[in-house]
Structure 1
């Protein structure tokens, strides 16, 4: 083999090696892009899973807090009836003590489940918690003050379950 042919073969081998190296580098670049995309997808999936976990925790907490809302709402007329019965019984009636005890037990059971009574007599009218049935002129009460509570309202935790039905003072005519 002469020197020229040997140089040509070496040059051809160098080009072949360079071509293989270029192809390997290109493939490595594609693999690195795929790896970066896979890492990004894993991070996105983790973030979505974390958001889903947090949302489920909030929903579970809300279900725990307000799960009894319907049954507690159904029991409110019972509380109203007990209060009306207590108001109708005279102070010397032997049934009064039993009714008072029953009302205390019932109120305690409702409170244990997060129900709080809204009894706004004498307070400023709050449309978020009170429903005004009427307005009456009053010289002794400031305007927009609750002067009578027709039906007590109830709040379950921070949510109004039933607004209080009230009469509100308006300016004297």
Structure 2
């Protein structure tokens, strides 16, 4: 091989080796860039994960606050309803306590009136009509009369004033009403009825 040929081969080798070195250098640079990109993405993912966790925590706190606010609101509405109902019942009790003696007096007047006396008949009828209208009026606002004649004694609604043996009547039956009682719709007693109760023969 001549000197010229040797030189040409050496140049060719250098050229090839130089291209390979450049390729290797490029590959190294590409790998470095890829590593940097991956690192940056990992950092972004970590940051976003932390932000998501904080957002979820805040959302959970807000949900808890909303649930508590709803519970408080419902509680207040329920309390207001109970208070209003208690006030209504209190007013009705006061009203009933004012009116029931009037009803008692009208009933006594009718009971002791001489119904055979023609002169008194219009007056008795007027008292009866007044009593009927008064009972309708108090019934319309939720006050009911307790007239337990013939019923079994109920200590929650009846107050036994005396006991007596009554032929053919089972024990603990109301055989006479001395004074009628009153209750609110729903069963709350304003005044128990005063009654006479049957008892077993000795």
For the aligned pair, the TM-score class normalised by the smaller chain equals 0.7 to 0.9
Q: Cα deviation per residue 1:88-121 (whole Å; 9 max; x = unaligned)?
A: 2211152322322222222222122222111111
Counterpart among 114, 120, 142 of residue 170 in structure 2 = 142
Residue 106 of structure 2 is aligned to residue 82 of structure 1 = yes
The TM-score, its normalising length taken from structure 2, stands at: 0.71
The TM-score, its normalising length taken from structure 1, stands at: 0.81
Question: 1:9-48 alignment to 2 at 5 Å?
Answer: 11=35, 14-15=38-39, 17-48=41-72
Which stretches in structure 1 are left out of the alignment for 5+ residues?
A: none
If each structure's helix is expressed as a fraction of its own residues, which one has the higher value? 2
Give the SS at the match of 2:73. Answer: helix
Residue 175 of structure 2 is aligned to residue 151 of structure 1 = no
Which stretches in structure 2 are left out of the alignment for 5+ residues?
A: 1-24
RMSD over equivalenced CA pairs, Å: 2.7
Larger RCO, structure (CA 8 Å, separation 6 or more): 1
Contact kept? 1:139, 1:171, Cα under 8 Å: no
Quote the residue 1:132 is aligned against: 160
Shift of 1:54: 4.3
Instruction: Point out 4+ residue stretches in structure 1 off by more than 4 angstroms.
Output: 2-14, 61-66
Residue 139 of structure 2 is aligned to residue 107 of structure 1 = no
Contact kept? 1:65, 1:157, Cα under 8 Å: no
Count matched residues.
172
Contact kept? 1:118, 1:163, Cα under 8 Å: yes
Residue 198 of structure 2 is aligned to residue 169 of structure 1 = yes
